[in-house]
A and B are shown apart, each in its own frame.
Chain A
């Protein structure tokens, strides 16, 4: 199913970037780092499509572009439909001898808004039809491009501009939708989660998603200092803490079979290494209100939700 692709840090560093510098992302923008890493996993001729959102906007301000591959953006809710059209065209043009490339990979990129919410229909349809493409969700947990509004991917308790922490309501009242599980339920061959701190794991998973025949879904955790009110220097640290607290565990589901990836498996085997969620929450301004006397109890609630989800995942991975 997968090639035995191995790489050293040096090789990755030397591999020419396909997502180029000069884009307009904020300092410390993890989504931009994620794209750069994903593009290191490319194995050959590739076409990329992007939903509307921060990454599209920062990378394509005409007449400049950060894309060293053919790239298209059409709208917000249809990244997976973009990929469907490109992949279908490539398939038939190849069959008719109208393109010379033996194979062209297709990657769709979208944020949490473009995936959990407005784009889920196109995504669900595209994977049900079985198009051969990798869908990358870079999850910065809100609509950042339009100014930090809540999405189905925003976690419980986070303050956003449409779920502000007020004197009565402590930020978002709903949980983060289990989007990757929803994709597993589509019975597609490859679903995985990744985090840019574990860059090797991320690149390997992106490559697997590219290699697999049929739809693949990669859910990447991507801190946004602007929207999370966090220190731009701490984005990568946050992407480590999210894994270490089990807020964002790393796993793969190959043909529906869940398995933990090493950074999370370590925690499953040595639960004492698992960090409390407060360590993760306290670094972010979007959770600041949870550290006031009025709402303090809610960090326990977040710990409870996190533990419950972690246990559920362990059961799926056969680790309980």
Chain B
């Protein structure tokens, strides 16, 4: 059992916290392109490079498409690679997101979550990362700058685990987290490095029947990213699903190991329950809103209301078992979505959680609250109203509106 390391407290915004975590993680290649509200990450990192504080090749590309491409090929050449983006930048990467996960390149990417155009909007919602749900990336949503720092460090260890070997997105809410100063406890450089370790490369069998490190290596003529047709493609994809399953085990392990050195853990790394033991009504949310919801839950608890919160930290892979375990006794659950699925049946988190709970006996009422698009503020009083609404559903045994919009002019 390791003891918690003494840590320095720095005033950092979320972007700076990410940049610092990257600096400490002994990253070999950073390739990135600036976009609000991620820009500070790239700028800070450029300063580290300019001041000789990092041993990193910094590639300031001409687009996000090339930034992710360069990270992908750097990664399969054996380097630890990082990029960062948001909104339109992530959308521009879309094609390469699939290629990165398909090539099993453990790239880590921070996303300062931001709305998608049109209309143009630079503020927070989760449309950008939700639109990449099926791209084969692990997705972690953080609640504060501290968690952004911690999660980027953890992300490398998760991504590079040979049982996982998948890229990871760490999403932090644009402006709310990216640009807001917080006290962040930071670990010493050497501790971070030791925690992540050096880049692990698994052995694979080459087409020549040779045992070789899984990388582009002049020692072996390995072909990567080939064309695989009807006869093989499907198996490649099935393996990615298996890797996601493995991530469900690896993420909690990393969360636990990290807790031992830092004293901080985020639930089990997948889900963070808040007063759910005896909760009758609960919400589920992702990202910084959880902070506000927790305050509201505290207030409700002090009034004797059995309210709770489940923070979905890891959206991909979806922690199905945990969601069921935490929510099966609850009577009414409000799923808070900070993005929309136009023409669908509610927001993406709603789809998935409602579907997850479908098979349990006595499943709770499950309703959707879509909120905060384009950075619209979500106040404690609005969250109070969500809980009141859930109470009413329990009391009346009746759902008036399955899909609700919070704080919207209609």
Contact = CB atoms under 8 A, between A and B. Distances in A.
A19 to B, nearest CB: 11
Q: Which of B99, B218, B220 has the most CB of A within 10 A?
A: B218
Interface in A28-67: 45-47, 49, 56-57, 60-65, 67
Interface stretch (A77-85, A160-168, A273-281): A77-85
Contacts of A174: none
A70 B218 contact: yes
A302 to B, nearest CB: 35
Contacts of B207: 63-65
B259 interface: no
A95 B55 CA distance: 9
B31 A57 contact: no
Interface residues of B, number: 44
B224 A57 contact: no
B232 A93 contact: no
Q: Which of B73, B75, B222, B224 has the most CB of A within 10 A?
A: B73
A125 interface: yes
Where chain B touches its partner, the secondary structure class is mixed
B311 to A, nearest CB: 35
A60 B77 contact: no
A273 B28 CA distance: 55
A255 B31 CA distance: 28
Given A69-B218, A93-B28, A122-B63, A88 B70 contact: yes
Interface in A124-171: 124-126, 128-129
Contacts of B70: 81-82, 84-85, 88
B74 interface: yes
Nearest to B218: A45
B227 A91 contact: no
Contact of A89 (B55, B79, B228): B79
Nearest to A80: B66
Contacts of A78: 65-66, 69, 96
Contacts of B65: 77-78, 81, 122
Interface in B208-237: 216-218, 220-229, 232
Contacts, number: 162
Nearest to B212: A70
A6 interface: no
Interface stretch (A96-104, A224-232, A310-318): A96-104
Contacts of B77: 47, 85-86, 89-90, 93
A266 interface: no
A92 B72 contact: no
B78 interface: yes
B81 interface: yes
B387 to A, nearest CB: 47
Contacts of A125: 61-63, 66
Contacts of B225: 60, 72-74
Nearest to B216: A70
B31 A85 contact: yes
A198 interface: no
A127 B66 CA distance: 13
Nearest to A76: B95
B103 interface: yes
B394 interface: no
A22 to B, nearest CB: 12
Nearest to B220: A70
B71 interface: yes
Contacts of B78: 89, 93, 98-99
B60 interface: yes
Q: Which of A73, A74, A86, A90 has the most CB of B within 10 A?
A: A74
Given A62-B226, A62-B232, A121-B63, A86 B74 contact: yes
Given A57-B227, A86-B74, A91 B218 contact: no
A75 interface: yes
Contacts of A84: 31, 59, 61, 66, 69-70, 73
A98 B220 CA distance: 16
B169 interface: no
B110 interface: no
B36 interface: no
5 contacts: A62-B228, A74-B69, A78-B65, A81-B61, A99-B78
The 6 tightest CB contacts between A and B, nearest first, are: A125-B62, A85-B73, A45-B218, A85-B70, A60-B226, A81-B66
